[in-house]
Amino acid sequence: MAPGPLYCYSSTMIQLKASDVPLYKQIVQQISRLVASERWPAGYRLPSVRGLAEQLVVNHNTVARAYRELERQGVVTSRRGDGVFVADQSHPFARRRGEQQLRGSIERLLDEATQLGMTPRDLVDLVGDHAARREQASRPGTRRRA
């Protein structure tokens, strides 16, 4: 049997793909990102479970589970009969949550750096340099990046 084509069904902002990350987790991660970047600001009403399920072509239980998880993490709040909304992110927990979200990327970055023979200190310096360059690039007078 040939493995099937890995087609991606997506809404405009959420993209699911076949990977070792369960679909509900992919939804949680991507919505957290949308919230963190304020593309979905506090008070934003999320699509209904059924609506998003149809849009992403996934079982509605998968979306419901993602929403439950997001609610547990405090990213969204659900108001009975009214829908699910992005929670106020100014809460001190929000920062901790952001840190948690980055943990995976940081771990991977550290692994890669180690493999390349860099120390964590080198990596921190590199990130610092990079941030400084980015800031400089976006300063008035220079061309603003999108």
Partner 1 sequence: MSDPVIEIRELSRRFGSSIALDHIDLCVAEGTVLGLIGPNGAGKTTLIKHILGLLRSEQGSTRVFGLDPVADPEGVLSRIGYVSEERDLPGWMRIRDLYRYTRAFFPNWDDALVTELTERFQLDVGQKVKTLSRGQHVRTALVLALAHRPPLLVLDEPSSGLDPVVRRDVLESIVHTTAQSGSTVLFSSHLLDEVERLSDRLAMIVDGRIVVHDELDGIRQRHWCFAVHYDGPGAPLANVDGVLKSKPGLSPGECEVIGEGDPEELARALTAQGVSVLERRPTTLDEVFLARIDPAHSTQTAAHRTDHAT
- CA separation for the pair 142, 146 (Å, rounded): 12
9, 43, 96, 119: which one contacts partner 1 (CB under 8 A)?
A: 9
DSSP reduced 3-state for 130:
helix
**CA atoms within a 13 Å half-sphere pointing along the CA-CB vector of 69:** 18
CB atoms within 10 A of CB 29: 15
To which H or E segment does residue 77 belong? strand 76-79
The binder of partner 1 chosen from 15, 41, 61, 98 (CB under 8 A) = 61
Least CB distance to partner 1 at residue 104 (A): 13
Stretch that binds partner 1, among 38-46, 59-67, 76-84, 112-120 (CB under 8 A): 59-67
5 belongs to the binding site for partner 1 (CB under 8 A):
yes
16 secondary structure, DSSP code:
-
Q: What span, in angstroms and rounded, lies between the C-alpha atoms of 23 and 66?
A: 9
Between 114 and 136, CB nearer to partner 1: 114
Q: Which one, 3 or 140, has the nearer CB to partner 1?
A: 3
Minimal CA–CA distance to 36: which of 104, 102, 115, 119?
A: 102
Q: Does 7 bind partner 1 (CB under 8 A)?
A: yes
Q: Which of residues 68-127 bind partner 1 (CB under 8 A)?
A: none
Categorise residue 77: left if φ over 0, alpha if ψ from -120 to 50, beta otherwise.
Answer: beta
- Residues 17-36 touching partner 1, rule: CB under 8 A, are 18-20, 22-23
Question: How big is the site for partner 1, counted in residues (CB under 8 A)?
Answer: 24
**Nearest CB to partner 1, comparing residues 42 and 64:** 64
Interaction site with partner 1 (CB under 8 A) = 1, 3-7, 9, 16, 18-20, 22-23, 49-50, 53-54, 56-62
